[in-house]
Amino acid sequence: MTVDGPEIGTLVVVMDRAKNLPNRKTMGKQNPYCAARLGKEAKKTETDQRGGQTPRWYDKHYNARAQC
C-alpha cells in the first residue's frame, strides 16, 4: 500500500497488553509479541517471555507519519 500526498500529522500507537489470547502451546507458556503496520512502515514489540494468554509490553510507544 502506498500513500501519496502531504504529511498531515503523526499517529501514535501504544502497545500495552493483550487479554484472552488462545492457548497455542501445550507445554510451558507462550512468548507473544505485537506487530503493527501502516503503509510501508512496520513495528514489532519485544517478545513477552512467558507472557502466556495475558502478555504486557509496558507502554511501548511508536510514532508513524500519517499522509493524506
Taking the C-alpha atoms of residue 46 and residue 32, their distance in angstroms, rounded to an integer, is 9
DSSP lists the bridge partners of residue 14 as: 61
0.95 cut: is pTM over it? no
What SS3 state is found at 48? Answer: coil
Tens place of pLDDT for every residue, the chain, 68 residues?
455 666 677 777 788 888 888 887 777 778 888 888 877 888 888 888 878 888 888 766 666 666 55
Domain positions in the chain are 7-67
